[in-house]
Structure 1
Amino acid sequence: MDNQITKKKSWILEMLLQGFKAHFIQNIHSEIVVCSKKNEKNLTTLKQSVGLLSSVPSNITSFP
């Protein structure tokens, strides 16, 4: 009987642990997605800036 209780307790602990793992993994995944979207937006802005800079003629020596 005592062995069954121990098995049940360890099973419950294992399920709790799995739940916590899933929760943390989900949170980390969400953070990664948010960071990726921010980086994507920054990268787009950077590409636009580089595009604007590359359209400026390179033979300009002084600005008006």
Structure 2
Amino acid sequence: MKNKILELRKNKELTQETLAKKCNVTRQTINAIENDRYDPTLALAFKIADVLDTTVDDLFKQ
């Protein structure tokens, strides 16, 4: 499953570290999700979507 986290994060001028802190995860977790090496839990997906002002459906695409 592809995601638009990197694109949306950069549009908001957030670093991986900043996004990670806002979602209570490590920077490495955000990096792994952005690079399609880790699928986040549903709860984390909702947190990321909230921070990036989008929906989970728009955040992830098949």
Q: Same fold (TM over 0.5)?
A: no
Give TM-score, length-normalised by structure 1.
Answer: 0.21
Give TM-score, length-normalised by structure 2.
Answer: 0.21
Larger radius of gyration: 1
Which structure shows the higher strand fraction? 2
Structure with bigger RCO (C-alpha 8 Å, 6+ apart): 2
Which structure shows the higher helix fraction? 1
